[in-house]
Amino acid sequence: MTHETKLYRDSRKSLKLLITAAGICILLIGIFLHSVGLFDGLIRIKSAVFAGAILLIMLFLFFKALVELKDKSARIVLNSAHFVGKTTPLSQKFGIGDWDDVSNIGLHKVGGDTLVVVTINNPSKYADRLPKALWNMAYNEQTNELNVMHSSSEIDVNPDGLFELFTSYWQKSKV
């Protein structure tokens, strides 16, 4: 089977995420300016530090997302031999995964997003790909499995459709 599915960025979803991030940044700027006493002359150190730190993080993520908009490559690629994703930092660093190493695929609700979680039963094969922080987040010591998460938040497929695509390719690879 040489059939391959490539899922690209949905510009409407990406624009909606960027507008939401810009709104949060504007709100944080207002909180920061209020905290440093611009409006009432009272300085609130804790809230100024908190708002300033969160604002810097949000601005970094916002500008990073703007730069990534130029990337026209597929966000998720599925074929009979492997899968590749770029929808989460974990899936981006993980790179190519082999269907032979997959033990389970499931849906997991995290905050406002539903993620497709691909469980890998051969984590030692992929140990050198992930930075320590991402490895600790994805690796389950009790079961000796690696959980790689893929999001549908920036592609033109809903979480259930993405789950069905992953499951169908995994099932076809077993045959």
pLDDT in tens for each of the 175 residues of the chain? 458 899 998 888 888 889 999 999 999 999 999 999 988 888 999 999 999 999 999 999 899 888 888 888 899 999 988 999 999 889 999 999 999 999 999 999 988 889 999 999 989 888 889 999 999 999 999 999 999 999 988 888 999 999 999 999 999 887 7
Torsion sign across C-alpha atoms 118, 122, 128, 134:
positive
CA 132 from chain centre, in angstroms, equals: 17
At 158, which amino acid appears?
N
CB atoms closer than 10 angstroms to residue 82: 17
Q: What is the pLDDT of residue 41?
A: 86
- Beta-bridged to residue 29, according to DSSP, are none
Q: How far apart are CA 99 and CA 88, in angstroms?
A: 19
Beginning with the edge strand found earlier in the chain, give each strand of the sheet holding 139-140 in spatial order. Answer: 102-110, 113-120, 145-151, 139-140
Q: What is residue 1's predicted lDDT score, i.e. its pLDDT?
A: 46
Helix 11-35 × helix 45-68 angle, to 10°? 160
72 within 8 A of 8, measured Cβ to Cβ: yes
Q: Which CATH architecture has domain 76-174?
A: Roll (2.30)
Q: What ranges do the domains of the chain cover?
A: 5-70, 76-174
Is this structure's pTM higher than 0.85?
no
Strand blocks (E) in the chain = 4-7, 76-79, 82-85, 97-98, 102-110, 113-120, 139-140, 145-151
Give residue 68's pLDDT. Answer: 82
Q: Hey, is 144 helix, strand or coil?
A: coil
Closest among 14, 137, 148, 16 to 83, alpha carbons compared: 148
Q: Which residues of 67-81 are buried (b: 16+ CB within 10 A; e: fewer)?
A: eeeeeeebbbbbbee
